[in-house]
Amino acid sequence: MRATMAKPLHPSVEQFKQFVKKHPKLIQEVRSGKKTWKQVYEDWYLFGEDDEIWEPYRERDGKRHEGEKGASKWLDKLAAMLGQMDAAEVQKHLANVQQAIGAIQSILSEFQGASQQRPNKDEHPFSFRKD
C-alpha cells in the first residue's frame, strides 16, 4: 500500500540512487559511520559522477576499464594533435610569446625603476640655488 501512496522521487535523487548502485562501497562507508548520505549526496552533486574522488568506491571488475579507456582515448587524441603540429609553427609561436614576455618585463622594470627613484629623492619640489 505504501508504494502506491508515495510521491515520485526527484530526478536527481533517482540519478543519485543509480550512482550508489554503481558504487556499492559507498553504502559500506555510510553504514560504517565514516560518511553520511547527506555528505555523499553533496559530494556527488558538487563533483559529479566522473570525478576522481569516486575512484576508491568503483567496482573493480570490468566496469573499471571504462575510465581507463577514457584516459586512453584522451592520450590518443593528445598524441594525434602533437603529431599534426608543425615544429616550425610551434617555434614561431614560442618566439612570439618570448617577445611578448620580454616586452612585459621591460615595462615592469621601467615602472619599478621609476617607483624606486621617487622615494630616494631628497630634493624639494622647488629647487632654489644661492647665487
Q: What is the pLDDT of residue 42?
A: 87
What is the C-alpha separation between 54 and 24, in angstroms, rounded? Answer: 11
Sequence-distant contacts of 62-69: CB under 8 A, at least 24 apart: 63/22
Residues comprising the chain, all counted: 131
What is the C-alpha separation between 69 and 97, in angstroms, rounded? Answer: 35
Q: What is the pLDDT of residue 97?
A: 86
Q: What is the pLDDT of residue 64?
A: 44
Query: Which residues of the chain carry a pLDDT beneath 70?
Result: 1-6, 60-70, 115-131
